[in-house]
Copies of this chain bind each other. A is one copy, B any other.
Amino acid sequence: MPRKLRKKIGLPPGSVVFTGQQKVETVHLSYLEYNADICDETSLSNQTISSFHQPISEYTQWYDVRGLHDTELIKNIGQTFSIHPLVLEDIADPAQRPKYEEYETGIAILLKALKFDAHLSKVITEQVSIYIGNGFILSFQEDVTDLFVAIRTRLVNGKGQIRTKGADYLAYAIIDALMDHYFVVLDNIEEQIEVIERNILETKGNNNKGKIHQLKQEILIARKAIGPLREANSRFSKSDHPLIDSDTKKYIRDLYDHNVHLMDTVDTYRDMLTSLQELYLSEISFKMNQVMQVLTLITTIFVPLSFLAGLYGMNFEYIPELKFKYGYFVLLSVMFCMVVGLLIYFKKKDWF
C-alpha cells in the first residue's frame, strides 16, 4: 500500500523518512559475530549507536535491526557503514517493491516476508532489507518478532556449512529461509482453494463468490512480493560484484529456480480461481435454469386448469354444460388428460 508515501511529497530524494506503521515501541538490535570456530551473539534490547563498529576481518558480522521508525539510527548506520542515501530511504519505506541494487561498497536487497493469517484469509507482508558489506551484513525487520530464528540457531549450533562461509552466504541463507515461508503461504492458499472448490461442487457454503474474490486479492499481494523478487534474484545470481563468492552463486541460482517455481504456482492458483469463478457462475446459471423450468412446468399445467375452473365458476344464467348430469366428471377427466398430455410433452422436451 503506497498510502503513506504522501508524507514524503515535496521532500528531496534520499530523505530517510519512515513511511510505514510503527510496529514496535523501541527498536531492537541484535549483533552476532562468527567464523568457523567462534560464534558470539549479543542481544541489545535498547540499541546504542556505539554498538556498531567497523568490520573486523577475522569475523563475519551480522547486525539485525527490528523496527524502522528510528530514522536517526538508520542515518547513523548509513554513515558508519557509508551506505548510499537512496538505500537508507528504501529501508525506511516498507512499501518498497522487492529489488536488488549494487553499489561500490555494498549490495542492498529488499524483499517481503509473507505470512498467511488463516483466520482472516489474509496474506500479511513485512519488509526485510538486507545490506551486504565487506565482511558484515545488516538486516532490517519491521516487526519485533524475529524472522531469522532458524538461521541464528544454525549459526550458534554450527550446523551445515554456514559458519565456514562469508556474508554473501549468510544473505543467501536469510533469503532462502524467507522464501521457504512463501511455500507455506501458497500451501495455505491452496487449501483454501480446495475448500471453496468442494463447497461449490457440493453447492455448500454461503459466500463462495466473496471468498474467491478475496483470495484473488491475496494472491495479487503474494504476486507483488514474488514477481519482482524473481528479477532481483536473477540479477543477484548473475552479479559479478566482488562481495559475492562464485561458489555462492550456484546457491543463489537455486533460489532463482525456486522463485520461478513459486511464480508458476501463483499463476496456476490464479487460473484455478478464475476457473472456480466460472464454475460458480455456470453453477448459478444451471440452478436458475432448473428453477425456471419448475416454475414454467407448474405455470403451464395449472394456469389452463384454473382458467377452466374459473370458466365454470361464472354466473351466466345460461351455461349449458352446468346443467349436464356428469358435467363435473367430464371436466375432471378433461383436466386429467391435459395434465398427462403436458407431462408427456415436457418429459420429451427433457424438462424434468
Contact = CB atoms under 8 A, between A and B. Distances in A.
Interface of A: 1-3, 5-6, 8-15, 84, 86, 96-97, 99, 149-150, 153-154, 159-162, 172-173, 176-177, 180-181, 183-184, 186-187, 190, 201, 203, 209-210, 213, 216-217, 220, 224, 227-228, 250-251, 254, 257, 260-261, 264-265, 268, 271-272, 275-289, 291-296, 298-300, 302-307, 309-319, 321-328, 331, 350-351
Contacts of A278: 213, 277
Given A291-B351, A298-B299, 7 more contacts: A12-B160, A209-B286, A298-B303, A312-B316, A313-B313, A318-B326, A318-B327
Contact of A307 (B96, B306, B328): B306
Instruction: Report copies per complex.
Output: 5
Given A3-B187, A209-B286, A295-B299, A261 B97 contact: yes
24 contacts: A2-B186, A2-B265, A5-B184, A5-B187, A10-B150, A10-B177, A12-B159, A12-B173, A13-B173, A14-B160, A86-B254, A213-B276, A217-B275, A282-B284, A291-B351, A292-B296, A306-B306, A306-B307, A309-B311, A313-B314, A315-B322, A316-B324, A316-B328, A317-B327
A215 to B, nearest CB: 10
A8 B184 CA distance: 10
Nearest to A162: B12
Contacts of A186: 2
Contact of A300 (B279, B294, B327): B294
Q: In the complex, which of the residues A160, A187, A306, A327 has the most CB atoms of chain B within 10 Å of its own CB atom?
A: A306
